[in-house]
Amino acid sequence: MLTVFGSIIVDTIFSVPTLPRPGETVLADALFVGPGGKGANQAVAAAKIGAEVAMVGSVGSDAMAQISIQAFEGAGVGVSGVQAVAGPTGSAAVMVDAGGANAICVAPAANRQTVAMQMTDAVWDRTTTLLMQMEVPFGEIEAAIAEARRRGVRSILNLAPAAPLGLEALKALDILIVNEVELAMLASQLRLNGDSHEAIARAAASVLGITLVVTLGETGALCVSGDKVLTAPALAIDPVDTTGAGDAFCGVFAAALDVDLCLEDALARGCIAGSLACLKTGAQECLPTADALRKYL
């Protein structure tokens, strides 16, 4: 089973002609409110292609919590590890321009109370892959990574939003997923130089002793695992909204590995899912089904 330890957020998405500059007010052409959060998105992405998924995270005591819970239940994501805490559910304001580019502001709220101890023995006993992101307390992420290593559970961290994590925790991972911005931050943390994404990824993977995946937007993705470098292309599309693309990649990539597909197959599936996610608005509404994914395999 794939367990996702991460954030649960409700998105308010504004479709705007252009992203506002500092001090500028822009009128939106459309408004959408729906479930989001990197953890929730990745859990739903995996479930929508048929994976067995459990979510571990936190919602608030407000009405918005039901938006997320109902989305999990509709996608078939297990919610026994989701706790309700006093206060608001996490919220994000997302602006998407006519070209599909976005700007996002997140209020973590209930997510700040998510702890690794929510991963009970019953959850750990069923978990074969643990997928995490950086929208819950960093110390709890590090604790979850350490426990996954102790229990022999495959651990995958999406280093997003970009933030430094302790080297001990990074080295205890099996797989680290970054985009170009996160790769640059990681290179700075590790004091690495390189003249290409591949060169930096090779150096970082070697220092950490783990598999490193770099998502490259419309170019696709590359993966460094030991001496092996794999690449996969993105689909040629006209993006509508890129908001859920990275989460679609991570969820589908992790789900593929959880059913013992090889890295090359997982990378290809992740890139297809990330591309298809750009064709619709909404962080979870855009996530592709197994049937949609199969059309491009």
Structural domains in the chain (count)? 1
Whether 86 is covered by a domain: the verdict is: yes
State the amino acid at position 274 in one-letter form.
Answer: G
* Residue 176: predicted pLDDT: 98
* Residue 238: predicted pLDDT: 85
State if pTM tops 0.85.
Answer: yes
Whether 24 is covered by a domain: the verdict is: no
Whether 297 is covered by a domain: the verdict is: no
| Other C-beta atoms lying within 10 Å of the C-beta of residue 203 | 19
Does the pLDDT of residue 112 top 80, yes or no?
yes
Active site residue 11: no
Q: Report how far apart, in Å, the C-alpha atoms of 8 and of each of 36, 89, 251 are.
A: 6, 8, 14
ω before 161 within 30° of 0 (cis)? yes
Among 43, 54, 37, 169, smallest CA distance to 119 is for 54
Maximum alpha-carbon separation in the chain = 52
**Residues 98-102, mean pLDDT to the nearest whole number:** 83
Question: For the sheet containing 2-5, what is the strand order?
Answer: 78-84, 53-59, 2-5, 129-132, 154-158, 175-178, 211-215, 221-225, 228-232
164: phi then psi, degrees, rounded to nearest 5: -75, 140
Whether 64 is covered by a domain: the verdict is: yes
**pLDDT tens for each residue of 33-75:** 989 999 999 999 999 999 999 999 999 999 999 999 999 999 9
- Pairing of β 175-178 and β 154-158: parallel
* Residue 269: predicted pLDDT: 97
* Residue 243: predicted pLDDT: 75
Does the pLDDT of residue 284 top 90, yes or no?
no
**pLDDT tens for each residue of 21-34:** 999 999 999 998 98
Whether 65 is covered by a domain: the verdict is: yes
What stretches of the chain show up as alpha helix (H) in DSSP? 38-48, 64-75, 121-126, 138-151, 167-172, 180-190, 197-208, 245-258, 263-276, 290-294
Q: Report how far apart, in Å, the C-alpha atoms of 83 and of each of 132, 270, 278 are.
A: 17, 29, 31
Among 110, 150, 112, smallest CA distance to 130 is for 150
Whether 25 is covered by a domain: the verdict is: no
Averaged confidence pLDDT in the chain: 94
CATH of residue 179's domain is 3.40.1190.20
Q: How confident is the model at residue 237 (pLDDT cuts 50, 70, 90)?
A: confident
Among 150, 139, 10, 134, smallest CA distance to 66 is for 10
* Residue 129: predicted pLDDT: 98
The position carrying tokens 């490193």 is 212
Cα angle value 136/242/244 (rounded, 5°): 40
* Residue 165: predicted pLDDT: 94
Sign, CA dihedral 177-181-187-192, equals: positive
Catalytic residue among 11, 174, 241, 247: 247
| C-alpha–C-alpha distance, residues 224 and 209, integer Å | 11
Full domain range(s) for residue 13:
2-18+30-292
